[in-house]
Amino acid sequence: MKRGRAEGRTIKPRRNSERVASPAERAQITLTINGTRHTADVEVRKTLADFIREEAGLTGTHLGCEHGVCGACTIHLDGQAVRSCLMFAVQAQGAEITTVESLGTPERLHPLQEAFRDHHGLQCGFCTPGILMSTLAFLRESPHPSDEQIREVLSGNLCRCTGYQGIVAAVRDAARRMRGTA
């Protein structure tokens, strides 16, 4: 007897776990990013990170892991540092978002960016936007940080290039510079 492909095995359609595909639900949202209002019709499953990059075109916010671990996507939501990959854009309805693009311009860097440049706080730069946004929120709350506090806050952002020494030095120096300008 020839061995048929379906021998002894019928493939049943899965019942409970498989839902009938339905068109993705959408919602109209309005939010502010770096002072500019954005109104858009988005799929409710779109993350805030994807909204910032794809709809608003602000690609400074990077996506590394998309599950909260690497910190590359860190932005400010109503002034607080959060992971933009762990929120949906619909949840930011009415919110004020700031991203790394709000910091400085190539001609006039933010003191935090200057400190990173001067201390080699970046190499490839992939982690840098998230690190800048994390440390900016941190330095506003703790203008006189200890090295231990700096290391503690940086533990929420992964960098695969620098070995962190330059980053710690940059944050330490940025605290000094920002105290001077504030």
Ligand X SMILES: Cc1cc2nc3c(=O)[nH]c(=O)nc-3n(C[C@H](O)[C@H](O)[C@H](O)COP(=O)(O)OP(=O)(O)OC[C@H]3O[C@@H](n4cnc5c(N)ncnc54)[C@H](O)[C@@H]3O)c2cc1C
Residues at the interface with ligand X (CB under 6 A): 68-69
Closest among 160, 135, 136, 162 to 150, alpha carbons compared = 135
151 binds another protein (CB under 8 A): yes
Q: Which residue is nearest to ligand X (CB)?
A: 68
Q: Write out the DSSP string of 164-181.
A: SHHHHHHHHHHHHHHHHH
Tell which positions 94-123 bind another protein, by CB under 8 A: none
Q: How far apart are CA 170 and CA 182, in angstroms?
A: 18
- How many Cα atoms sit within 13 Å of 38 on the Cβ side? 25
Q: Which stretch binds ligand FES (CB under 6 A): 33-41, 92-100, 103-111, 122-130?
A: 122-130
Kindly give the pairing relationship between strand 96-98 and strand 26-33.
parallel
Contact residues for ligand FES, defined by CB under 6 A: 63-66, 68-73, 83, 85, 122-127, 159-162
Contact residues for another protein, defined by CB under 8 A: 17, 19, 21-25, 27, 43-47, 50, 66-68, 71, 74, 77, 80-83, 85-88, 90-91, 134, 137-138, 151-153, 155-156
